[in-house]
Amino acid sequence: MQSLARRLLFISDDVVAILIAIAVLWILRSYGIISAGSAIIMGVLAGVFFAFMALKTYRLQAMKPKVGAEAMVGKTGRAVRDMDLEGAVEIEGECWKAVSYRPIRNGATVRVVRVDGLKVTVVPEEGDLTRKGGAAMTGGGES
């Protein structure tokens, strides 16, 4: 969620644009270039246009990225072979080099927690916390 200050700054830009449009229309009306009715109609249309554009832009800024490293974080995939700290995973049909701080068995579901270049850091999903041999995993092997 965006901060209140950022939202107000975002809205203030549009308010300024609407006020400038109204001022230009008022000046054109005062010189007799357009009538008062035309100035009002054009001012309302400008206000509606800027409000529509502000809403669309605000929604685009609030969307989660769909491409790039930021979009990979949180996605799930599966290990394509047994992993002992390094290996490979398949995410959305693409094979990625992977690093994990826990051993992960072939076919286990994994979640991406970090992207570093062409290598992803993954953790096993909650239901796939088993070692290759089927024994339950512990919290990192430390006592």
| Structure confidence at residue 119 (pLDDT) | 92
Residue 127, pLDDT score: 63
User: What's the token pair of residue 130?
Assistant: 């088993």
Specify the pLDDT at position 1: 46
Q: Give the pLDDT confidence score for residue 142 in this predicted structure.
A: 41
Query: Contact, 137 vs 131, CB < 8 A?
Result: yes
> Helix, strand, or coil here: 104?
strand
How does 27-61 read in b/e, with b if 16+ C-beta sit within 10 Å? eebeeeebeeeebeebbeebbeebeeebeeeeeee
Pick out the chain residues at pLDDT < 70. 1-4, 6-7, 10, 65, 127-143
Q: What is the pLDDT of residue 53?
A: 84
* Residue-wise pLDDT tens digits, 20-32: 888 898 898 888 8
User: What pLDDT, on the 0 to 100 scale, is given for residue 17?
Assistant: 81
DSSP 98: E
